[in-house]
């Protein structure tokens, strides 16, 4: 979900099409920003193939769209970041399986599913039921 506005995959649908739904965001600062600017329910977690209480997350400040789970962080990103003036840190974030997330909220129908998990898209998609 990022900050909920800049580069958001769902902002247009919420404000121009009256969409309602769920945004999943691993970075706490972004979660708070989304809650201030959006109507969607926000879950503080990373969307993952398997749920877990804690996963290593690489946070990149100064470059949009380059943060992600350490286990699936693209090698290309690592090379790019070595040449950029970005601040890179690691933190732990909760991971949630999308099936469990939707089922826990009684969401049986999905009209729009936007997934941007920096290298783990295929694993998450394969886990969907």
- Mean pLDDT, the chain, whole residue set: 79
Across 27-51, average pLDDT: 87
Query: Cβ(45)–Cβ(24) under 8 Å?
Result: yes
Residues whose CB falls within 8 Å of the CB of residue 104, separated by 6 or more in sequence, listed in order: none
- The helix (H) or strand (E) run that includes residue 30 is helix 28-37
How many C-alpha atoms does 6 have within 13 Å on its Cβ side?
6
In angstroms, the CA 80 to CA 66 distance is 10
Domain residue ranges of the chain, discontinuous segments joined by + = 11-127
pLDDT tens digits along 49-63: 888 887 777 776 766
Higher pLDDT, residue 59 or 72: 59
pLDDT tens digits along 89-100: 778 888 889 889
Checking if the pLDDT of 36 tops 70, the result is yes
Quickly state the pLDDT bin for 43 (edges 50, 70, 90). Answer: very high
């Amino acid at each position: 979900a990022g900050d909920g506005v800049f580069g958001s995959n769902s902002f247009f649908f919420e404000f121009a099409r009256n969409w309602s739904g769920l945004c999943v965001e691993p970075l706490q600062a972004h979660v708070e920003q989304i809650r201030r600017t959006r109507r969607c329910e926000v879950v503080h977690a990373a969307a993952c193939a398997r749920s877990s209480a804690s996963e290593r997350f690489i946070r990149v400040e100064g470059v949009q769209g380059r943060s992600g789970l350490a286990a699936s962080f693209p090698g290309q990103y690592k090379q790019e970041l070595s040449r950029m003036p970005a601040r890179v840190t690691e933190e732990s974030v909760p991971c949630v399986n999308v099936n469990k997330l939707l089922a826990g909220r009684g969401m049986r129908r999905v009209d729009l599913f936007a997934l941007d998990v920096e290298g783990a898209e295929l694993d998450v998609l394969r886990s969907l039921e």
